[in-house]
Copies of this chain bind each other. A is one copy, B any other.
């Protein structure tokens, strides 16, 4: 057997896909597509709010008044991003802002009555969105998937 043959065999045995890189099989690529699909389903059910905007409202419903930064932490948005989201919700009258009495750095965010009504109205639709997003999976698969996805996030 020639030296070339040995090398070839070695490569085939240890690095069968040395030259191979399948983008379509990489977790990042598929994650991005799955996320895109979800956003699209969301938009089909809730046309006048984006997923981050809804997340902000839903979290405010949970925790009540919080500072803008704290809210960002709760919904996984950095300070710059959450500011934009809150600004747009404020412009639409769904939240209002006030200064923290003691700590003058903090900007307190609250649901308005209209904002609260909106969340309550939208939560059933949000449940539908979750369901439709997971529709390709069986109940058992959903349980497995959610467990594993949570580990990755």
Contact = CB atoms under 8 A, between A and B. Distances in A.
16 contacts: A23-B58, A25-B146, A28-B38, A29-B75, A31-B31, A31-B149, A35-B35, A36-B76, A133-B152, A134-B152, A137-B152, A141-B148, A144-B144, A145-B145, A145-B148, A145-B152
Please give the count of copies of this chain that the complex contains. Answer: 2
B151 A137 contact: yes
Contact of A33 (B28, B38, B76): B76
A76 B127 CA distance: 26
A148 B55 CA distance: 25
Given A29-B75, A32-B76, A136-B152, 10 more contacts: A21-B58, A23-B59, A23-B62, A27-B133, A30-B146, A30-B150, A136-B151, A145-B145, A148-B148, A149-B149
